[in-house]
Structure 1
Amino acid sequence: MNFAEAPDGTGLAWTSEGEGEPLLLIAGQATAMDGWGPTAELLSRFYRVIRFDHRGIGRSGRGDADRYTTRLLAEDAAAVLSAAGADNAHVYGHSMGGRVGQWLAIDHPETVRTLILAATSGGKWPDPATQPERAALEALVGGDMSRLEPLFFDADWVRRNPKATHAFFNSPASAWAKARHFRASRDHDAWSELGSIKAPTLILHGTDDRLTPLPNALLLRRHIPRSVLVRVAGGGHGLHLDHPETVDWIRQFIARTT
């Protein structure tokens, strides 16, 4: 386990596995690096996978409350890349991690070789079709695993991967940190600046995502120049884990665009 120093001095826990071109994984809201589970292992066969715990999560320090915005969390991600000795990297963000990845590509374009965005959005949008289903949002806020599992994963995958499921939903975090992660994700708004993203961008989105419905991905595709959208049939909000075929698509995208 290694520690990077965030701009405000907060310690950020990170690890590195595998060899090859660096690939930074940015986890979703209130999810520790361990939540990447089997996906990190698969990717580490082809890349040097760098993972980290967001501030307030897992083994990272808490820091100040005013540092919990997606744009400032991107500064944490940049600090991790620097500590890992990676001048630039492929960046893969899931959900809130995708929001953080957007700001990293906007504010630190020199550090992002390619950008992969899974189950995420550019922020609030007035169209009701982009909003999470009410019951899905209530389940997310409530934190009941029995209600969350079907929103994220295929039931067969959950049965076959109990350890990965448990690691994903049980990241060490205080109620204080979880509330600030939720607020950071909810308040994200990068729509007006997405057009400045220069990194080749792959958007992965499940057709059955009830927390971040598919129209969000269509809007991302419209706003990010030269981006590519892959609709994952039957995928929910956790498609980055229960659809391992996405690893092949990521490899093909990186090979084709770099």
Structure 2
Amino acid sequence: MSTLNRSVIKKIAVIIIFVLISTAVIFLGIQYKRFLKVKSSQIDRANAKSVVVETDQGTIEYAVSGKGDPVLMIHGAGGGYDQGLLLAERFLPKDCMVIAVSRFGYLNTPLPEEPTPDHQATLYRGLLDKLGINEIHVVAVSDGGPSALKFSIKYPERVKSLTMICAKSKTPPKLTTIQSIVFGTIFNNDFLFWMVTEYIQSDLLNVLGVSKEVQEKMTADEMEMAREFFEIMNPISLRKKGIFNANIQFKELSPEDYPIWEIKAPTLVIHAEDDTLQPFYYAEYTHEKIPHSILLSFKEGGHMFFSHHEKISEAINHFFSNTF
């Protein structure tokens, strides 16, 4: 190849690279302007149903939806009371009064000096005292598990039943490399997290416990539910303190600190065997240790139980109806 041809190829390559970089910069600039416009509405939405109260144990945010038998709804990672309301609408009976809380560091529940699951359980008790509720169904999702277990152990007279939905109950495995990258990058930046939820939601689902195989079987309704689930996580900065606090608090959940065999309340454990975010051995352990607990398991469905929502709703409805 002649020197002239090499020179022409280099110039063309430089032009192509310049065009690609320029296109990327323009695209990111347009997206950032979009992000700035929607961020304020995201914050407004996160505060829309929020109630913040002072109890004798500290400050907690919650929201109430519906009327009937009271249910304490405890959200998972990346959530808040709003995630609790969304999942309650999907899984719980319609004749319930859902009290969805925000755990420490999420939305408007501050991070105290001792943001432990034990302290969180005491704060739940303070909220119920404030609301004049003596006995309640407790439903915990994912990372909501430890504080729900603590509450059930410490205040057995307050717990009408306990439902653990893909919920953590013992020491978790170390984060995978991809999960560590996610925690270290997109959970630290509102714009980056928004871009991920906008354009590569499928990959985020995969990281958060829903395999590609499960995603291929999702219905239109389930895809809409996943979209809404991720939409309400924005802006992630409103939940970041809670996410990182959980990584510290849940690093080791020893049997000595969590004697779950002492739990007397009727207990329903729901989990999918292919959940890669909250491993199935949590469910096996919870079911084994809590006397007379019921295990509802699925071979597949991932962390969000896709294709099984109706079965879960029916099971919880039956469970609540037969809890006395």
TM-score range (shorter-chain normalised) is 0.7 to 0.9
**Relative to structure 1, is the Cα distance of residues 174 and 91 closer, same or farther in structure 2, using a 3 angstrom cutoff?**
closer
2:124 matched to which residue of 1?
77
SS in 1 for 2:83: helix
Alignment partner, residue 134 of structure 1:
176
Q: How many angstroms does 1:141 deviate by?
A: 2.5
Identity of aligned residues (%): 22
Task: Name stretches of at least 5 consecutive residues in structure 2 with no aligned partner.
Answer: 1-49, 188-192
Does the C-alpha gap of structure 1 residues 158 and 251 become closer, same or farther in structure 2, counting only changes over 3 Å? Answer: closer
1:15 is matched with which residue: 63, 67, 80?
A: 63
Tell me by how many angstroms 1:167 deviates.
Answer: 1.2
* Closer/same/farther in 2, CA of residues 35 and 136 from structure 1, 3 Å limit: farther
For residues 232 and 261 of structure 2, the distance between their equivalents in structure 1, rounded to whole angstroms, comes to: 35
Within 5 A, what are the aligned runs for 1:100-249? Answer: 100-124=147-171, 131=173, 134-135=176-177, 137-138=179-180, 141-142=183-184, 143=187, 146=201, 147-150=203-206, 151-153=208-210, 155=215, 156=218, 159-161=223-225, 162-168=227-233, 170-173=235-238, 175-190=240-255, 193-239=259-305, 243-249=309-315
Q: Check whether the contact 1:33–1:53 (CA below 8 A) recurs between aligned residues.
A: yes
Give the root-mean-square deviation of aligned CA atoms: 2.7
- Structure 1 or 2, whichever has the larger Rg, is 2
1:124-147 per-residue CA deviation (whole Å, 9 max, x = no partner) reads 2xxxxx736724643652446544
Q: Distance in 2 between matches of 1:186 and 1:30?
A: 17
**Cα distance 1:140–1:197, how it changes in 2: closer, same or farther (>3 A)?**
farther
Q: Is residue 2:162 matched to residue 1:98?
A: no
Residue of structure 1 equivalent to 2:94: 45
What is the one-letter code of the residue matched to 1:89? I
Question: 1:4: which partner in 2?
Answer: 53
Q: Cα deviation per residue 1:208-251 (whole Å; 9 max; x = unaligned)? A: 11122212211111111111111033122233997243121111
Check conservation: 1:31, 1:57, Cα contact below 8 A: yes
> TM-score scaled to structure 2, two decimals?
0.68
Of structures 1 and 2, the one scoring higher in RCO (CA 8 A, sep 6+) is 1
Do 1:136 and 1:210's aligned partners in 2 also have CA atoms closer than 8 Å? no
Q: For the Cα contact (< 8 Å) 1:133–1:211, is it kept in 2?
A: no
Amino acid at match of 1:102: L
Change (3 A) 1:25 1:136: farther
Stretch moving more, 238-247 or 182-191: 238-247
Report if the CA contact (8 A) 2:70-2:96 is conserved: yes
Tell me the amino acid that sits aligned with residue 186 of structure 1.
K
> SS state of the match for residue 229, structure 2?
helix
Distance 1:12 1:72 in 2: 12
What's the CA shift for 1:20?
Answer: 1.0
Report if aligned partners of 2:55, 2:130 keep a CA contact under 8 Å in 1: no
SS at 1:49 equivalent:
strand
**Relative to 1, partners in 2 of residues 1:44 and 1:218: Cα closer, same or farther, differing over 3 Å?**
closer
- Aligned residues between the structures: 250
Select which of 83, 94, 99 maps to 1:35.
Answer: 83
Q: C-alpha deviations, 1:74-114, integer Å up to 9, x for none? A: 11222222222211100000112111111100001111100
